[in-house]
A and B are shown apart, each in its own frame.
Chain A
Amino acid sequence: MQISYKPGSGALYRLHPMVKGAIAFSAIVFFSVNTLGFSMMTAIIAFMLLCCWFSGVELSDIFMSVRRILLLLIIVGLIQGFAADGFNVAAAGAAMMRILGVFLVAGVYVTVSSQSELTFFWESCFRPLGLIGLPARELALVMVIAVRFFPVILSEIDRIRMAQIARGARLDGGGILASAAALMPLMIPTLTQAIIRAGELSLAMEARGYRVTAQRSRYQRFRFGIIDIFAVLIPVLLFALLLKPFFAGTF
């Protein structure tokens, strides 16, 4: 099963997309670089899952997907666990919790954010680029279209792959050069079809009044709520925790 947006109405869902993005970003950074121990991390993850549960986030798909990274978790745990003085269970557990944390945060973020919210977040992140003349809104639209066509093109690749294999293509040649050549029967048709699609899509967009130069209005609107004011504290807190060691001496 794939992790994807599941509409809901809990507190996590109602957050402003910027706040959601900031929390997700800060939490991912936090989990990747923090130096807290195993028990502290487990507590934080448990607290996080509790918040999700109260917001009515459907976690079953995320848990199902954890199985896929289980092997990765175990390997990382083993590598981190072997220290000079034998096997350190706490270090192994902490390392595994870190990866699990990053994975869960990303999974929950994708589950509670609709496509429009993701776009809004990207666009806001691109906006500073507007200062150096890059069109933030167009870039965001490109992202939306990429997201929109990702499953379409995937299923097309799948069909082409099946048909070419049936014709006798061997798509898994050895070595980088050999496999690049072996992929031709897959790559060229996929590319041709993508170009045809792009042509049709641009025509359809133009027919619906899209002009690159024109001033467009905006449908999506997101308001800051009271809950957002409190939620903003989360990334602030997380970054403060991360930066604490650097300032520990100054106070």
Chain B
Amino acid sequence: MFENLALNSLTVRYGRHVLLNNLCGSFSRGQINLVVGRAGSGKSTLLRVLAGFHKEYDGSIEADGVTFVPSGNISLAFQNPEALFFNGTVEDEVGYALKMRRMGRDEIEPIARSWLQKWGLDPEKCWHSHPLELSGGEKRRLALAACTIFMPPVVLFDEPLAGLDAKGQRALAELLAGMSSEHIVIVVTHEPEILLEQRGTLLYLHSEGCRWFKPAEFLRNSLIDRNFFPLPEWYHSAVGQFAQSSDLPPIKADEVFRYVKKRERMHADKL
């Protein structure tokens, strides 16, 4: 288990092109680490570098002060993680990563069952089903379970919320937050709204430079500059006037409501 994953002046090249320039900062455990940026801002490049598949870079990546070795320490869950299924049963699919680590069948089974349960799947019901027979949400959960069963210290998610409905997204966001106590969770996404409700930091990738934000700072920047990140219009009109204050609520109706009331009360008290 790692506490943090630090990027030290990371500059990534592809041939003559510089894809990421002098990136410094760190991802840590116990929070959700978001990576946000427009298409072509280098999100997938960063992912490939962290996973150890792109080696053309200067600077270093260190886990707890020691050079990070991706092999066996990192898991990748891509958009449509269901695309990874290739086993005939849920049992084999979820246990595959352990099988490849030379564990015996009877050793794997209890771990796999408890792991499915942890991801909200009932092992009794689906143990022998074909992975592709499950419903959309179940497939997503199974895929994520299969990607994390070997307890990698770092887990990378690429657009994990895409294609889920609002309820599914909320449930998944909470699962991710739960995971963050045991893994360094890094989420690449263009829909950070729901994930901003969780504790975390945000790395904003941009061709002119990259910056790290706390959620409230990110919201403030987006409120001031609509091109920075387009937030929903109602959020702008509700809290736009408080953009300069120290805290900002996440993009959720009841929290924004409570926040606005509190601000109004404070304003009234002052008068």
- Docked Cα-Cα span, A164 to B143, in Å, equals 12
A154: CB under 8 A from chain B? no
Q: In the assembly, what is the distance between CA of A193 and CA of B76, in Å?
A: 18
Docked-complex contact B84 and A163, CB < 8 angstroms: yes
Query: 8 Å CB contacts to B: which residues of A158-177?
Result: 159-160, 162-164, 166-170
With a cutoff of 8 Å between Cβ atoms, the chain A residues found around residue B85 in the complex are: 188-189, 192
Mask of B52-90 contacts with A, CB within 8 angstroms, 1/0: 010000000000000000101011111001011110000
Q: Which residues of B contact A1 (CB under 8 A)?
A: 15
CB distance from B188 to the nearest CB of A (A): 13
SS of A interface (majority): helix
Contact between B83 and A192 (Cβ–Cβ < 8 Å)?
A: yes
Q: Is the CB of B78 within 8 A of A189?
A: no
Is A180's CB within 8 Å of the partner chain B? no
With an 8 A cutoff between CB atoms, is B146 at the interface? yes
Q: Interface 1/0s, chain A 132-160, versus B by CB < 8 A?
A: 00000000000000000000000010011
**Contact yes or no, A166 B76, CB < 8 A:** yes
| A163 with B77: CB separation less than 8 A | yes
Q: Are B147 and A185 in contact (CB under 8 A)?
A: no
Contact B83 A166 (CB under 8 A): no
Q: Pick the residue among A163, A168, A193 that contacts B100 (CB under 8 A).
A: A168
Known: A185-B86, A189-B85. Is A163-B78 also a contact (CB below 8 A)? yes
Is the beta-carbon distance between A167 and B100 smaller than 8 angstroms? yes
| Contacting pair A167 B78 (CB below 8 A) | no
Known: A1-B15, A162-B48, A163-B77. A189 touches B84 (CB 8 A): yes
Shortest CB-to-CB span from B31 to chain A, Å, is: 22
Please determine whether A160 and B83 come into contact, CB atoms closer than 8 angstroms.
yes
Assembly CA distance A103 to B188 (angstroms): 41
B77 cross-chain contacts in A, Cβ below 8 A: 163
Distance of A160 Cα from B86 Cα, bound (Å): 11
Q: Which residues of A contact B84 (CB under 8 A)?
A: 160, 163-164, 167, 185, 189
Contact A159 B15 (CB under 8 A): no
A96 to nearest B CB, angstroms? 27
Contacts of B75 in A (CB 8 A): 166-167
Q: Are A168 and B74 in contact (CB-based, < 8 A)?
A: no
Question: Does B51 sit within 8 A of A, measured CB to CB?
Answer: yes
What residues on B are CB-neighbors of A193 within 8 Å? Answer: 83
Return the chain B residue nearest A193 by Cβ: B83
Q: Which residue of B76, B78, B83, B86 contacts A184 across the interface (Cβ within 8 Å)?
A: B86
Which 3 A/B pairs are nearest by Cβ-Cβ distance?
Answer: A168-B100, A188-B86, A163-B76
Contacts from A to B (Cβ < 8 Å): 1, 156, 159-160, 162-164, 166-170, 184-185, 187-189, 192-193
28 contacts between A and B (CB under 8 A): A162-B48, A162-B53, A163-B77, A163-B78, A163-B81, A163-B147, A166-B51, A166-B70, A166-B75, A166-B147, A167-B75, A167-B84, A167-B146, A167-B147, A167-B150, A168-B72, A168-B96, A168-B97, A168-B100, A168-B101, A168-B150, A170-B100, A184-B86, A185-B84, A187-B86, A192-B83, A192-B132, A193-B83
With contacts A163-B81, A163-B147, A168-B101 known, what are 16 further pairs, Cβ within 8 A?
A1-B15, A162-B48, A162-B53, A162-B76, A166-B70, A166-B152, A167-B96, A168-B150, A170-B100, A185-B96, A188-B85, A188-B86, A189-B85, A192-B85, A192-B132, A193-B83
